[in-house]
Amino acid sequence: MMRIDILTLFPEYVDFILSESIIGRARRAGKLDVRAHNIRDWSEDKHRRVDDTPYGGGRGMLMAAPPIWRAWKAVTEEDFENPAAVKRKTVYLSPRGTVFNQEKAKEFAGYDQLVLICGHYEGVDERLIEEVVDEEISVGDFVLTGGELPACLVADAVGRLCDGVLALPECYENESFEGGLLEYPQYTRPPVWMGREVPEVLLSGHHANIEKWRREQSERITRERRPDLLGSEAENGKKD
């Protein structure tokens, strides 16, 4: 079972999001181990402070390295008989990181433990990143008030790929970004709604025609909305 540890100043916030829907059910069923840890618990300051003013001046406060490092040490050693043997990835959520995508989600799902560090204020001391972080990840070209939402996005995307979280592999094999294409349109009852009909091919029961239609629709939508993905789809085709 995969374990995801999230180091944050707001563990209740993270737990609230990741205790619902599929991820929440997987946690309760013992299919996925997600733990949110309050970095303040590892502060040695009597007021539980975890930030300080940055050297060189500037606005805002910076999260200090020592409490985050102590938190990281604890979650990478506790409950593991042989911590050194654990296949682990430590990620810092940062606007300057590599943009997260489905390929990254699949890569991260191959680890035994994923540690997600949430920055806040003006970020974290660079020495902490140099000491423990394997990769910096961004969820888009914008800035948020903290790393909690990005961490939840990463945990959700990775967690749903882990064994037993979704009922069947088919649940994610034909999704957007699988094979480099966006997902085709889907429909359910009623067959006519607001004057709009379900495409006749989907009612035909002819599976080959349905698959052909779905492929064509995926290609059309990708070409219209994300033409940049078509190059990766071609590369995937070469690998096959």
* pLDDT confidence tier of residue 79, bands split at 50, 70 and 90: confident
pLDDT at residue 174 tops 60: no
pLDDT score at 239: 47
pLDDT score at 232: 54
- Summarised one tens digit per residue, pLDDT across range 183-201 is 999 999 999 999 999 999 9
pLDDT score at 102: 94
CB 109 within 8 A of CB 158: yes
pLDDT score at 234: 46
pTM summary value: 0.87
Provide CATH code, domain 3-159: 3.40.1280.10
pLDDT score at 58: 86
Q: How far apart are CA 67 and CA 79, in angstroms?
A: 20
Distance (Å) of CA 222 to CA 135, 147, 170, 214: 29, 30, 21, 12
Give the CATH H-level superfamily of domain 174-239. Answer: tRNA(m1g37)methyltransferase, domain 2 (1.10.1270.20)
> What is the mean predicted confidence (pLDDT) over 28-32?
97
Q: What are phi and psi of 156, to 5 degrees?
A: -65, -50
pLDDT score at 78: 83
Query: Average pLDDT over the chain, rounded to whole?
Result: 92
Q: How far apart are CA 180 and CA 151, in angstroms?
A: 24
Residue-by-residue DSSP string for 194-234: TTEEPPGGGGS--HHHHHHHHHHHHHHHHHHH-TTHHHHHH
Q: How far apart are CA 116 and CA 150, in angstroms?
A: 9
